[in-house]
Structure 1
Amino acid sequence: MSLPNVWHHRKVAASAAKSCWICYKPSTSVLITPDNKDFFYICAGHLKDKSFCLPDASEAAALAERKKKEEMDREIEAVKREYEEKQKRKAEKRKAKEKSKDKAKDAEETQKNDDEDKKDEKERDDRITAISKDEPKPEDEARIFSLHKNFYQMRIDRIRNAEAAKRNRERLKNPTTFPSVPSGDP
């Protein structure tokens, strides 16, 4: 029997939580083989333990990409907030200037303000595109792990023991496996 050391992480409903294979605390995380031959409940903390299991290399790369995207999104939000604050300050300055200026220069000043707004918007858009350039597209993949060799061997042993017990039960049910009753010739 060949059981690959590839395990997919799945979540179950909170009402279906069962005890963790390692620490026996209730857990909703399940590790299951791709062919559904074996599964066990495991705590999320154990999945982060490098001495228990390791994420698949492609999975680790995908996680790094997701973190990078989240950082980019935060940076883009910061740029947008900075732009909004800058626009608010300019609007306040304009209101103060409009009160003190005469109407002849007002049309010229309005054109100048519009040009500054367009320039600021272009600067903001350029910064956002520079940040989001080569932005990875995260895919919602199943988490894939491989167990440490000792834990993997424990799973294989458990399956082998279960198969041996099943064979023994079948042998005991079959009456031909027992010897016949001795005849009574003394």
Structure 2
Amino acid sequence: MSFPNIYTHRKVAEGSAKGCEICFKPTSSVLITPENKDFFYICPVHLKDRGFCTPIVDKAAEEAKKKKAEEDKEAKMKEEIELVKKEYEEKQKKKKKEEKDKEKEAEKEKDKDKKDDKDKEKDKKGDKDDKDKKKDEKEAETPATDEPRVFALQKFVYQQRLDKKRQAEIAKRNRERMSNPSFFPSVPKGLP
């Protein structure tokens, strides 16, 4: 029974963790073939070892990711530019209002300046909080790791997996034969 040398990296629940195929430490990472014909537990550290396996990179997907990242950067820049423009316009409007207020009432100017300063400080704090929240949301949306998910085992490791699978099949066949009573020779019935 042969299967392709394409293994997908998957995670299982921590409660289902078993010993790594190489170092026997408990791990929740599994490499599995597409048709689920073969699987084994492996530490994520071993996946980075080029002597054990190599990642299979889909060039079209990589190019699409890069293009999408560039588009996202451009969109972010446009959003930031719009925010800066809005802030600038708001500041200009506030300045015009302040000038009109100064012209109208010279006596109340002192009181209004104090109130405006307090409002400005509150607005600045609110704007900073909004910007921080937006940055946190954007960071949360981006994936933490861009590790490859598909691997090809090195030749000798793949051959070991094939041999192990064949031995398991042979052992299963032998157990089935041994459980069948017709497998053993019958006792001679005639006299010698």
What's the offset of the Cα at 1:84? 0.7
Write the distance in 1 (CA, Å) between the matches of 2:167 and 2:9.
25
Name the aligned partner's letter for residue 54 of structure 1: T
Q: What's the counterpart of residue 160 of structure 2?
A: 154
- 1:51 is the counterpart of 2:51: yes
Write the distance in 1 (CA, Å) between the matches of 2:67 and 2:52.
26
Name the aligned partner's letter for residue 167 of structure 1: R
Write the distance in 1 (CA, Å) between the matches of 2:71 and 2:24.
39
> CA 1:13 to 1:67, structure 2 compared with 1: closer, same or farther past 3 Å?
farther
Task: Give the % identical residues.
Answer: 52
Q: What's the counterpart of residue 169 of structure 2?
A: 163
What's the offset of the Cα at 1:149? 1.0
> CA 1:162 to 1:146, structure 2 compared with 1: closer, same or farther past 3 Å?
same
Write the distance in 2 (CA, Å) between the matches of 1:23 and 1:71.
41
Write the distance in 2 (CA, Å) between the matches of 1:44 and 1:67.
25
Alignment root-mean-square deviation, CA: 3.5
Contact 2:57 2:150 in 1 (8 A): no
* Structure 1, gaps ≥5 residues long: 103-141
Number of aligned residue pairs: give it: 146
Name the aligned partner's letter for residue 153 of structure 1: Q
Name the aligned partner's letter for residue 15 of structure 2: S
**Residue 145 of structure 1: SS of its match in structure 2?**
strand
Q: What's the counterpart of residue 8 of structure 1?
A: 8
> CA 1:38 to 1:179, structure 2 compared with 1: closer, same or farther past 3 Å?
same
> CA 1:100 to 1:176, structure 2 compared with 1: closer, same or farther past 3 Å?
closer
**Residue 31 of structure 1: SS of its match in structure 2?**
strand
What's the offset of the Cα at 1:39? 0.7
**Residue 10 of structure 2: SS of its match in structure 1?**
strand
**Residue 166 of structure 2: SS of its match in structure 1?**
helix
Write the distance in 1 (CA, Å) between the matches of 2:84 and 2:159.
60
> CA 1:48 to 1:71, structure 2 compared with 1: closer, same or farther past 3 Å?
farther
Name the aligned partner's letter for residue 99 of structure 2: S
Q: What's the counterpart of residue 24 of structure 2?
A: 24
TM-score (structure 1 length as normaliser): 0.59
Name the aligned partner's letter for residue 92 of structure 1: K
TM-score (structure 2 length as normaliser): 0.58
**Residue 49 of structure 1: SS of its match in structure 2?**
coil
Contact 2:32 2:39 in 1 (8 A): yes
Q: What's the counterpart of residue 42 of structure 1?
A: 42
What's the offset of the Cα at 1:81? 2.2
Write the distance in 1 (CA, Å) between the matches of 2:28 and 2:63.
25
Name the aligned partner's letter for residue 21 of structure 1: E
Q: Deviations over 1:5-33 (max 9, x none)?
A: 12233322222222222232332222212
* Structure 2, gaps ≥5 residues long: 103-147
Write the distance in 1 (CA, Å) between the matches of 2:186 and 2:42.
49
Q: Deviations over 1:39-96 (max 9, x none)?
A: 11123333343332233342x5424533542454244224312321232123212321
